Amino acid sequence: MKAQFFNEMYVGDDVRAPYAGLLNWLENTPPEELAQKRAEAETLFRRIGITFAVYGSEDTTERLIPFDMMPRVFTDPEWRKLEAGVKQRARALNAFLWDIYHRREIIRAGKLPGDLVWRNEAFEPSVIGISPARGVYSHVVGVDLVRTGPEEFFVLEDNCRTPSGVSYMLENREIMMRLFPALFRENRIRPVDDYPHALRRTFSSVAPKKCDGDPVIAILTPGSFNSAYYEHSFLADQMGAELVEGQDLFVDGDFVYMRTTRGPQRVDVIYRRIDDAYIDPLCFRPDSLLGIPGLMNVYRSGGVQICSAPGAGVADDKAIYTYVPDMVRFYLGEEPILQNVPTWKCADPSDLKYVLEHLSELVVKEVHGSGGYGMLVGPAATKAEVEAYALRIKSDPGDFIAQPTLALSTSPTFVDSGLAPRHVDLRPYCLVGSEVHLTPGGLTRVALIEGSLVVNSSQGGGVKDTWVMAG
C-alpha cells in the first residue's frame, strides 16, 4: 500500500487556509515571470556566496545550495505549539547537561543509564564541576522537527553544540523579500531578521562573572576552508562581533585577549564554531592548531564564557535523544509537548532482534552521526546494502538506533515540471540565556529528489523560506 503523506498545501482538492494567499499569487503570476525569478534567486545566492562543501567526497568544490522560492507556511496556532515544545525541550536539555557535570541525579534515580554518558565520545571529564553562567551549557539549540499530519509533529533529533544553517534562514527571507515585496505587503508574516540581535543579547546575558561593562563577543572559526565559514562571517557581521581564528587569541593570566592593531583587547564571550577536541591543546588534542592554549583554565576560573559549553555534545547523541521526554518529566515536572519519533535502541537485545528482522522497513542511524551520513533508509536500500548494514550493526549494536520510516509531510516546491510536493523538515533555532527565545521561523530543508526522505544538503536537499503568519 502506498504511504499517505500529509500535504501542507492541499486537503483533497481544497487549499488549506495558510496557503490561500500564495495560491492566488501563483495563479496571477505568469510562468515566464516565475522562471525569471528562480534564475534571479540562483544568481543572488551565487553573488552572496551561499555555498557548502561535502566532507568525504572526491569532489571538494564548493556547491551552491538549491533554493526553492515557494515558502513553507505555518499558522500562528501551529507555531505557538511548536514554540512551547521547543522551549521546553531546550530547558530540559540544559538541565540535563548541568546535572551530568555536577550531581548526576538523573543517573542516581535510574532514569538514564550512566554508561550512555560515561562512554559517550562527547562527554568531557575536564568540564566536571565547572559552572557556566546561568547554568547554560547549550546556548543555541537546533531541534529538528518533522510533520506527519495536521496536528502531528515529532522531534527527529537535537543539536546542542553548534547547529548550522541559520544564515540560510536569514538569507532565504532576504532574497524572498527582494524578489517578491508585494507578497510581504499582502501577508502578515512574522520577521526573522532580529535573530542576530537576539543572539547577541543571549551571549551578553551569559557574560562571565569577571566581565566589566559590555562584553566583547568573538566568533571562533576554524578558518575560510571550513564548510560553514560563510555563516561564521555572516553572523559576525550581523551581530557586530569579532570574527577570529585561534591564532588571533591568546591567554594572559586570568583572561583571553584578541590581537588587534591597537594592541591586546580582552574577549569575554567566545561563540566557538570548532569542535571540543580542538579548542585548547593544553586540555584536549595537543596537536590542535585551531585553539587557544590555556583557554579552559580561563573558562574554569570565570574569565571567559564559551558558547556552547565544551561537553554539550553529549545531548546530541541519538541514544541520549531517546530519554529526552524522561528529562522533561524529571527536571521540569511537565509532560512533553513534542514527542520523539518511536525509536529502537540496538544496544537492547530485544530491540536489536526486531531491528535486524525488519531492517528493510526502518531508518537506521549511527548514534554519533550527523548530516545524513552513515544511515540506512531501508525501503530505499538494495538487498546487498541491507545485508552489509546488518553486519555493521551486529559488530557494535550500541552504536545504532532505528526508527520507522515516517510519512513526512510535503510542501509545494518548484521543480522543472512545475509545482510538486516534496518532503520537508524544519530546524528552528532556540536561544538560551537569561531567557529562552525562539525566532518565529527556521530552516526548512526540502528533499528535491522525488520520493526522497533525506533533506540534508549533502544528500541533494535544498532550502526554502519559512513563514509564520501573525495572529
> Where do we find the cell 486537503?
11
Instruction: List the CATH number of the domain containing 380.
Output: 3.30.1490.270
Task: Say whether both 176 and 72 belong to one domain.
Answer: yes
In a domain, 5, yes or no: no
In a domain, 139, yes or no: yes
Task: Say whether both 285 and 201 belong to one domain.
Answer: no
Cell triple for residue 390? 546488518
- Is-contact 247 257, C-beta < 8 A? no
In a domain, 4, yes or no: no
Q: Which residues pair with 15 in a beta bridge?
A: 10
H or E element in which residue 185 lies = helix 181-186
State which of 404, 434, 451 marks the end of a domain. 404
In a domain, 372, yes or no: yes
Task: Say whether both 266 and 415 belong to one domain.
Answer: no
Helices (H) and strands (E) in the chain, counts: 14, 25
In a domain, 416, yes or no: yes
- Is-contact 454 380, C-beta < 8 A? no
The end-to-end CA distance of the chain, in Å, is: 39
Please provide the size of the chain in residues. 471
Distance CA 157, CA 89 (A): 11
In a domain, 3, yes or no: no
In a domain, 1, yes or no: no
Task: Say whether both 372 and 324 belong to one domain.
Answer: no
Distance CA 47, CA 59 (A): 22
Task: Say whether both 373 and 397 belong to one domain.
Answer: yes
What tens-digit pLDDT sequence spans the chain (471 residues)? 345 789 999 988 899 989 988 988 888 889 889 889 988 988 888 777 665 555 454 555 566 788 899 999 999 999 999 999 999 999 999 999 999 999 999 999 999 999 999 999 999 999 999 999 999 999 999 999 999 999 999 999 999 999 989 999 999 999 999 999 989 988 899 999 999 999 999 999 999 989 989 999 999 999 988 888 989 999 999 999 999 999 999 999 999 999 999 999 999 999 999 999 999 999 999 999 999 999 999 999 999 999 999 999 999 988 899 999 999 999 999 999 999 999 999 989 999 999 999 999 999 999 876 656 678 988 888 999 999 999 999 999 989 999 998 889 999 999 888 889 999 999 999 999 999 999 999 999 999 888 887 787 766 789 999 999 997
Task: Say whether both 61 and 173 belong to one domain.
Answer: yes
Q: What is the spatial order of strands in the sheet that 265-267 belongs to?
A: 249-252, 255-258, 265-267
Range of the domain at 279: 209-303
Q: What is Dmax (Cα atoms) for the chain?
A: 69
Task: Say whether both 40 and 140 belong to one domain.
Answer: yes
Distance CA 412, CA 420 (A): 5
Distance CA 227, CA 284 (A): 23
Q: If DSSP codes are grouped into helix, strand and coil, which group holds residue 438?
A: strand
- Antiparallel, parallel or unpaired: β 344-345 and 339-340: unpaired
